[in-house]
Structure 1
Amino acid sequence: MGQSMKGMRLENPIKSVGMKLFVTFFVSILFFVLAVGMISYNISKGVIQNKVAEASEQTITQAGQKLDLLYGVFEDLSLQIMLDNDLKTMLSQMDSVDRTSYDFLQFRQKLGDKLNVFIYSNKAIKALHLYKSNGETITISGASGSATGTVANEDWFKRTVEANGKATWLETRVKGFNETAGNSGMVFGLGRVLKSTTSSSVQAVMLMEIDLDAIGKEIEQINMGDGGMTSIVNGKNQVVYQKDNTLLGKPSTTPLPESVLTSDDNKNSYTDDKNGLQLVYYKSEKTEWYLLGAMRVEELVKDAKKINYMTWLLAFIAAIVAVIIGFFVARMIGRPIVTIRNLMKEGEQGNLTVRTTITRQDEIGQLGASFNEMMEKITQLVKQTNDSAKEVLTTAVDLSDASKKTASSAKEIAIATEEIANGASSLAVESERGNDLTAQIGMQMQTVVQSNVDMGNAASEVHKSSEQGIQYMSELIQKTNKTEQMTRSMVEKVDKLKESTRSIRKILEVLNNITKQTNILSLNATIEAARAGTAGKGFMVVADEIRKLADQSRQSIAVVGQITETIQTEVDETVNVLSAAYPIFKEQIDSVKEADEIFKQVQGQMGGFIHQLEDVTESIQTLDKSQLVLSEAMSNVSAVAQQSSATSEEVASLSNEQTNISSGLVRLSENLESLSNSLQESLSKFKV
């Protein structure tokens, strides 16, 4: 006994209740702490990255719009040069002057002085170049030397000529666009073809070299954080501007993907997961260059890493707490259960004297008390059973002799009555089964009749609904056609309004040019009045008033231009919305027509279905009447069979009962004797 109990206590502890509770507490606490922490970290990381990206997008967009204003100033100045009448007159007279004469030198000097006026008007302009259409140099103003040779094979020159008068923005050159004219430093350019207003022939090709610092000062004010940088790239990812001058003109170290360069999407951010960068960009409406800001994702989310560190720290603390809690729970629950298990093992082997000493007030204490009560009652039961077994053994011997005599006589009576009872029972069973089947058929027939009526009512309702649906669909088709006509009319009227705003813009451009010319004329008049001395003071006042009037006109034209631009934008948006809505209205009309055809088909099919339901209903009613007649006949047969079977079974049961009782008494007496002996042997194993 002692060796077997020792073996029981050495069972695998991993499968114990205490260990399972310990593992459950440990895994649950650690899982939830890690899950909550990691979810919080990922959410915080995403929120911080999105917010910083949105703020950076706004910063890049605002800076890009400021650069567009700056580009617009240079485009306006180039347009002013292109429309300057004096310059056009000089260029038209150039071919009539002998290039080897002194007059040609004076002509070039006069032309250079004219260009210097424009250079002095904007300090960012380094030089102004004029070339013939074949690339031969006419003059270069603002350069440190004089150019020689031709630039016809230069890529920038070809691009400018192909633009045919439209402003062409040229990427940065470290030493200028014409090295023979002297080193202009780091500049980017604006090229434009100057045409004659009378013959539309090319008079010259103008190149404006602009100091790179003009855009560098704006970009250096943008802060992309630690490890971030700001640059300008063209549509081929070549650097136009970057703080590191050695990268100018080279492929960008933070290139935009091809999908961004070719996309018309308004989204201004892109995440480069491969290099760990968050890119925000703005595409210039003037130059079509990209103002690009790059930020390290690690820097954006570095504050969120604190949550990650705290999560692992709390997980470590939670693991220690889970180990302590699991250990105490395992000791508090597992140890008492093991004790009770061992005591039950001893009781299983026959020792009914074992008792537990657990006195706790919880469920385990109640289990121990119940175990003790169970063992007490089992002990008492074993004692009583032992005494009763002795008395039963004596009675069983006497009962066995009497039962054998009664059994022999009862067998003869049972054989005769059993044959009669079997035939009557079979007839009763079959008739009862037939009666049950007819009853079930009757119930099912009633269910079928009611279901058929319900289907007929439902079919009638669907028929009415389909008729009403056809009427509604006809009204909907008429209203949809009217809506389509109104939408088409709105699109045509908005297109006309769009053309009107374009005409207004052209008129404003002409007025703006007139204002600029007036301003220049007033300046010249002021200079001439100053030369005239006292005699020209009155004329100077008039010239000053003309200049003020020109400035006021220019400001008014600018305001009107902004209002016209706003109207143009809103008209374009309205056209886009109406154009997108028009196909939807057409699709809606087609869908409504298809739905109308479906309603008509449903109406026709439901009519035929209703007629078929009426025929089925008549057939079911006829079948129901026939089933009632069959049910009455089966009930009569069942009643007669049951009465006959009951009489036969009563006689047979009496005979069988007597036979069974006699045989049972014999078997019981023999079993009782055998059980009495076995019970005495079994009870002798218990220790009470």
Structure 2
Amino acid sequence: MRERWKALTSRMARAGRAVAGLWASRQAKPEGAPGSGGGKLTGLAAVGNPMKSVGGKLFIIFFASILFFVLTVGLASYNISKSIIQNKVGDASEQTIVQAGEKMDLMYAVYEDLSLQILLDESLMTLLRESAAATKGTYDFLQISQKIVEKLNIYSYSNKTIRAIHVMSPSGEVIASSGGTSGTANVKDKPWFGKMLEENGRVVWLESSASGYTEDSSRGTAVFGLGRALKNGLSNEVQGALLMEINLDSIAQELERVQMGDGGETMIVTPELKTIYSQHAEAIGQDSDLGIAKEQLSSEAGRLLNDRQDKQLVYYQSAKNGWYLVGAMKVEELVKDARLIYIMTWVFAIVAAVLAVVIGFFVARMIGRPLGQLRTLMKQGEEGDLRVRMSVTRQDEIGQLGLSFNEMMEKITALVQQTNHSAQEVLLTAAELSDASKQTKTAAQEIAAATEQIAGGATSLAVEAERGNELTGHISVQMKEVVRSNVEMGTAAAEVQKSSEQGIDYMSGLISKTNATETMTRSMVEKVDKLKESTRSIRKILDMLNNITKQTNILSLNATIEAARAGAAGKGFMVVADEIRKLADQSRQSIEVVGSITETIQREIDETVEVLSEAYPIFQEQIDSVKETDLIFKQVQSQMSGFIGRLSEVTESISQLESSQVVLTDAMSNVSAVAEESSATSQEVASLSSEQLNISSGLVRLSEKLEELSTSLKETLSKFQV
């Protein structure tokens, strides 16, 4: 824009100089002015450079003024329109992005809630504990993995945008995935896996992946992920990790109605400007090409221009994962409607330039010619001929200027005549004035010396008073800081007292809950003892069933023997006896399995009784600690009440001290003001005295010079012809 303006101005200036030169050559006067004695001095032709003439300057002024105001108004209108359109579109786009970002937050919240639901699924947590206890590759492990897969399938099928849900062990091995059985991949070396374990159960959002996050889930489609550590609700230990792979198309579906105009786009980037989602698939996972630094995205929402100033960016930061939803629009597309104003500005500028040339030419012609004549006459008057006069035929300002010139020449003639008479009298007076000036100079020197001494003393007094005023000002500021700090201490003490009261209330509730926990633990011990007795009864029943099985085997053997003795008639009975024997064997095997399970249950019950017995004294110690803590809170509350009373007394004393400090500060300010005023007055008197001395010295010089000028004036006036 500046280059175009400079080029146009240069071309217009060259055209103006050419027209001014042509005008000046046509205005050259071939004859001398009336009363000049027929001299040949021409008007503007004698100037040499046409641009130094009044006509040329008027032409340039008209030309430049009209063109400047047309271009200024037009370009200003274009820039203002461009700025308004850009701001309005930017505001609307920002609101669109904010609404779309809030909609995306709702979608993110759905996935977070689903992951929390999985985390709180007690049956799934039980299966994870069982899988950790089972040996990998065994039948029991496979059955547990299959149950986990079935659980994950239920959650996965509840939301069609979820591609897969993986459950991994703390060591990084994939235990199970929705849509399949247990995997073989290991993700312990993945940075995101370590981050999930470090976050201790909080949600971790993963950047986009072109195919997937595990070897078993790579299917060639882009996804983004959500993960969190799975913790045991009782022991608070990490039992594994959950990874949810979400199709990136879900974001595209949410943003398909967000339009950023022709050439615009929407994308999602991390705070480090890594691309999570883009309409261009090849950009996913790469550094974004927004053309800005990550520090420029410093607020939750806003808009800015990129480094090349060719794109308007509007953004919104998600409250869920901190990702930025960014809309990019080309500035050229935003302001294309204002382009017509820019074109019309240059059209009107060209028309205005032509009009300025015509108007400037005629104005310069009407003013330049009579001024050239007047200049010739004044040149002759400059050489000493006071008899020249200008013939006037116009009634405008130029005519009035000619009349004024004639009257001026008349008065100058009379003045020269009168000056000849006055020069003699001035010459006599100058001698008397020189003597008086020398006496005045001597008196002024003595006054100046005395006033300089007074000014020095007043300045020292003002400096000391100013220093005292600064000290009292510092003391006042420090007193205010002490008052403010004391008030803050009082506020903090009140808050501590309030916190102590809340702590007492919380400790009372904690004591009640701890007593209830003790009662429940005691009841649990009793119930476990009863369960232990029940398992012993089951063991006795199993022994009895085992004996029955043995007797059944003996009976089936006897029946087989008797059937063999009966020969062909006992074959049917032999088959029945054989089936009874098989049934007895199966019963024996089942009883052995049940016995093994019962022994395992009894062993675990014994371990549970042992753990509860060890925990019961700990509960007793916890109750004693809680009661001691309650007594400490009550002592803190009592001591804080006394501390608040002491702070109130200190605050009152400091307030009285502050009032006294204000009075002292006002007094020092008054002293400083009086001292400064006295110093300023003394300096002013000293300055006036010095000035008077300088004037006296100058007066002596002037009187001497006046005498010289009087003599010179007399000689000069003799040159004029009147």
Instruction: Give the aligned partner of residue 365 of structure 1.
Output: 399
Q: Secondary structure at the match of 1:268?
A: strand
Code of the residue aligned with 1:10 in structure 2: it is A
Code of the residue aligned with 1:118 in structure 2: it is Y
Which of 481, 488, 506 matches 1:484?
Answer: 488
1:331 aligns with 2:365: yes
Task: Write out aligned runs for 1:65-214 (5 A).
Answer: 65-97=102-134, 99-100=136-137, 102-142=139-179, 147-181=183-217, 183=219, 185-214=221-250
- 1:342 CA displacement: 4.9
Instruction: Verify the 8 A CA contact 1:469 1:599 in the aligned structure 2.
Output: no
Q: Secondary structure at the match of 2:153?
A: helix
- 1:186 CA displacement: 2.1
Code of the residue aligned with 1:5 in structure 2: it is K
Q: Secondary structure at the match of 1:130?
A: strand
Instruction: Verify the 8 A CA contact 1:171 1:249 in the aligned structure 2.
Output: yes
- 1:330 CA displacement: 0.7
- 1:77 CA displacement: 1.0
Instruction: Verify the 8 A CA contact 1:148 1:181 in the aligned structure 2.
Output: no
Instruction: Give the aligned partner of residue 552 of structure 1.
Output: none
Instruction: Give the aligned partner of residue 350 of structure 2.
Output: 316
Percent of pairs with identical residues: 43
Code of the residue aligned with 1:210 in structure 2: it is I
Task: Write out aligned runs for 1:536-615 (5 A).
Answer: 596=661, 599=664, 603=668
- 1:224 CA displacement: 1.9
- What CA distance in whole angstroms lies between the structure 1 residues aligned with 2:503 and 2:261? 46
Q: Residues 445 and 169 (structure 1 numbering): CA distance in 2 closer, same or farther, change over 3 Å?
A: closer
Instruction: Verify the 8 A CA contact 1:470 1:599 in the aligned structure 2.
Output: no
For structure 1, which segment, 30-39 or 13-22, has the greater mean C-alpha deviation from structure 2 after superposition? Answer: 30-39
Code of the residue aligned with 1:296 in structure 2: it is K
- 1:250 CA displacement: 1.6
- What CA distance in whole angstroms lies between the structure 2 residues aligned with 1:606 and 1:137? 85
Q: Residues 323 and 256 (structure 1 numbering): CA distance in 2 closer, same or farther, change over 3 Å?
A: closer
Which of 282, 300, 305 matches 1:246?
Answer: 282
Code of the residue aligned with 1:72 in structure 2: it is A
Q: Residues 272 and 478 (structure 1 numbering): CA distance in 2 closer, same or farther, change over 3 Å?
A: closer
User: Is there any run of 5+ residues in structure 1 with no aligned partner, and where?
Assistant: 386-424, 504-585, 614-670, 684-688
- What CA distance in whole angstroms lies between the structure 2 residues aligned with 1:223 and 1:290? 17
| Equivalent residue pairs, number | 479
Instruction: Verify the 8 A CA contact 2:105 2:318 in the aligned structure 1.
Output: yes
- What CA distance in whole angstroms lies between the structure 1 residues aligned with 2:87 and 2:660? 45
Instruction: Verify the 8 A CA contact 1:126 1:184 in the aligned structure 2.
Output: no
- What CA distance in whole angstroms lies between the structure 2 residues aligned with 1:102 and 1:313? 89
- What CA distance in whole angstroms lies between the structure 2 residues aligned with 1:44 and 1:191? 49
Q: Residues 495 and 322 (structure 1 numbering): CA distance in 2 closer, same or farther, change over 3 Å?
A: farther
Q: Residues 142 and 345 (structure 1 numbering): CA distance in 2 closer, same or farther, change over 3 Å?
A: same
Code of the residue aligned with 1:52 in structure 2: it is V
Q: Residues 473 and 71 (structure 1 numbering): CA distance in 2 closer, same or farther, change over 3 Å?
A: closer
Instruction: Give the aligned partner of residue 274 of structure 1.
Output: 308
Instruction: Give the aligned partner of residue 584 of structure 2.
Output: none
- 1:605 CA displacement: 11
Instruction: Verify the 8 A CA contact 1:146 1:181 in the aligned structure 2.
Output: no
Q: Residues 44 and 598 (structure 1 numbering): CA distance in 2 closer, same or farther, change over 3 Å?
A: farther
Task: Write out aligned runs for 1:587-666 (5 A).
Answer: 596=661, 599=664, 603=668
- What CA distance in whole angstroms lies between the structure 2 residues aligned with 1:296 and 1:493? 59
Give the CA RMSD over aligned residues: 5.7
Task: Write out aligned runs for 1:343-358 (5 A).
Answer: 358=392
Task: Write out aligned runs for 1:229-244 (5 A).
Answer: 229-244=265-280
Q: Residues 291 and 604 (structure 1 numbering): CA distance in 2 closer, same or farther, change over 3 Å?
A: closer
Code of the residue aligned with 1:240 in structure 2: it is I
Which of 8, 13, 19 matches 2:56?
Answer: 19
Q: Residues 213 and 97 (structure 1 numbering): CA distance in 2 closer, same or farther, change over 3 Å?
A: same
- What CA distance in whole angstroms lies between the structure 1 residues aligned with 2:269 and 2:503? 35
Instruction: Verify the 8 A CA contact 2:271 2:324 in the aligned structure 1.
Output: yes
Deviations along 1:82-135, whole A, 9 cap, x unmatched?
Answer: 111111112222245565555544433322221122122222212111122222
Q: Residues 306 and 487 (structure 1 numbering): CA distance in 2 closer, same or farther, change over 3 Å?
A: farther
- 1:34 CA displacement: 2.8
- What CA distance in whole angstroms lies between the structure 1 residues aligned with 2:74 and 2:179? 65
- What CA distance in whole angstroms lies between the structure 2 residues aligned with 1:475 and 1:248? 61
Code of the residue aligned with 2:274 in structure 1: it is Q
Code of the residue aligned with 2:120 in structure 1: it is L
- What CA distance in whole angstroms lies between the structure 2 residues aligned with 1:474 and 1:308? 61
Code of the residue aligned with 2:177 in structure 1: it is I
- What CA distance in whole angstroms lies between the structure 1 residues aligned with 2:393 and 2:59? 24
Deviations along 1:496-518, whole A, 9 cap, x unmatched?
Answer: 99999x99xxxxxxxxxxxxxxx
Instruction: Verify the 8 A CA contact 2:171 2:188 in the aligned structure 1.
Output: yes
Instruction: Give the aligned partner of residue 40 of structure 2.
Output: 5
- 1:255 CA displacement: 5.1
Q: Residues 331 and 104 (structure 1 numbering): CA distance in 2 closer, same or farther, change over 3 Å?
A: same
Q: Residues 335 and 491 (structure 1 numbering): CA distance in 2 closer, same or farther, change over 3 Å?
A: farther
Q: Secondary structure at the match of 1:75?
A: helix
Instruction: Give the aligned partner of residue 298 of structure 1.
Output: 332
Q: Secondary structure at the match of 1:10?
A: helix
- What CA distance in whole angstroms lies between the structure 2 residues aligned with 1:601 and 1:175? 78
Could you tell me the TM-score, scaled by structure 1's length? 0.56
Code of the residue aligned with 1:316 in structure 2: it is I
- 1:365 CA displacement: 2.4
User: Is there any run of 5+ residues in structure 2 with no aligned partner, and where?
Assistant: 1-29, 32-37, 418-430, 508-650, 679-714
- What CA distance in whole angstroms lies between the structure 2 residues aligned with 1:117 and 1:279? 41
- 1:236 CA displacement: 3.1
- What CA distance in whole angstroms lies between the structure 1 residues aligned with 2:236 and 2:282? 42
Instruction: Verify the 8 A CA contact 2:392 2:402 in the aligned structure 1.
Output: yes
Instruction: Verify the 8 A CA contact 1:146 1:182 in the aligned structure 2.
Output: no
Instruction: Verify the 8 A CA contact 1:336 1:364 in the aligned structure 2.
Output: yes
Task: Write out aligned runs for 1:317-466 (5 A).
Answer: 317-342=351-376, 358-368=392-402
Instruction: Give the aligned partner of residue 226 of structure 1.
Output: 262
1:35 aligns with 2:69: no
1:284 aligns with 2:318: yes
Code of the residue aligned with 1:278 in structure 2: it is Q
Q: Residues 344 and 293 (structure 1 numbering): CA distance in 2 closer, same or farther, change over 3 Å?
A: closer
- What CA distance in whole angstroms lies between the structure 2 residues aligned with 1:497 and 1:45? 62
Instruction: Verify the 8 A CA contact 1:5 1:342 in the aligned structure 2.
Output: no
Instruction: Verify the 8 A CA contact 2:197 2:241 in the aligned structure 1.
Output: yes
- What CA distance in whole angstroms lies between the structure 2 residues aligned with 1:258 and 1:471? 46
- What CA distance in whole angstroms lies between the structure 2 residues aligned with 1:437 and 1:29? 63
Instruction: Verify the 8 A CA contact 2:43 2:369 in the aligned structure 1.
Output: no
